Amino acid sequence: MLLAPYFFLMLLNSDSFPPRWYERRGQRQKMEARLQAAGGYEVLRRECIAFVQTNEAVQWIRWHTNDAPASPPAIVALQPQQVYYISPKLLGPQSGEPQIPIVRIKIFGMHATGGHSTPYFGLEVVATPSSEDYTPKARPAASGNGHLDYRKVSDGVYEIY
């Protein structure tokens, strides 16, 4: 009897509905459709490899005007919110970042103060021709819009959520 009011109050909390698993399923379906229209994971990885060979640092954010280079068609097709790449040569061994080129593509995610935050969903692409030993790491965010888990979806491509 006491659970019914609790359940009703939980539904009124804007950050608890829709459930994260349901929202991530929709995000995954949208990303898959966009990526398949661009040629799939292999094309994305090939274009990321070419992209890092001509750029040392890219920090592109959709809502800001900046001087980021033209992104490859497969990245553009994902309609990303952010594209991030810093050459391992610029980071140095003490940075805590991987010493192989990784292109991070944030596709979904936005923190909402006092409202429903859209959960983080993106891709990390190992941008080397060989299959490197790489494991994404959690990036918790104070705003609640970081990511804590990953799933390998193709050779050198990880779904981050």
In a domain, 4, yes or no: no
pTM for the full predicted model:
0.77
Find the helix packing angle between 20-38 and 41-53, rounded to 10°: 70
Q: 23 in a domain, yes or no?
A: yes
Residue 6 belongs to a domain: no
Residue 2 covered by a domain: no
Reported as a single tens digit per residue, the pLDDT across 85-102 is 989 888 776 677 778 899
| pLDDT top residue among 12 and 96 | 96
Q: Which domain holds residue 27?
A: 17-160
Length of the chain: 161
Asked if residue 7 is part of any domain, the answer here is no
The pLDDT tens digits of the residues spanning 133-157 come to 788 887 766 555 566 788 999 999 9
Asked if residue 124 is part of any domain, the answer here is yes
* 11: three-class secondary structure by DSSP: helix
Provide the number of structural domains found in the chain: 1
DSSP-assigned letters across all residues of 57-121: EEEEETTS---PPPPPHHHHHT--SEEEEE-HHHH-GGGSS-SS-EEEEEEEEE--TTSPPEEEE
**What strands, in cross-sheet order, belong to the sheet with 150-154?**
57-61, 82-86, 102-110, 118-126, 157-160, 150-154
Residue-wise pLDDT for 27-48, tens only, equals 899 999 999 999 999 999 999 9
Asked if residue 149 belongs to a domain, the reply is yes
Q: Which residues pair with 28 in a beta bridge?
A: none
Is 145 contained in some domain? yes
Question: Between vectors from CA 73 to CA 72 and to CA 77, what angle results, nearest 5°?
Answer: 125
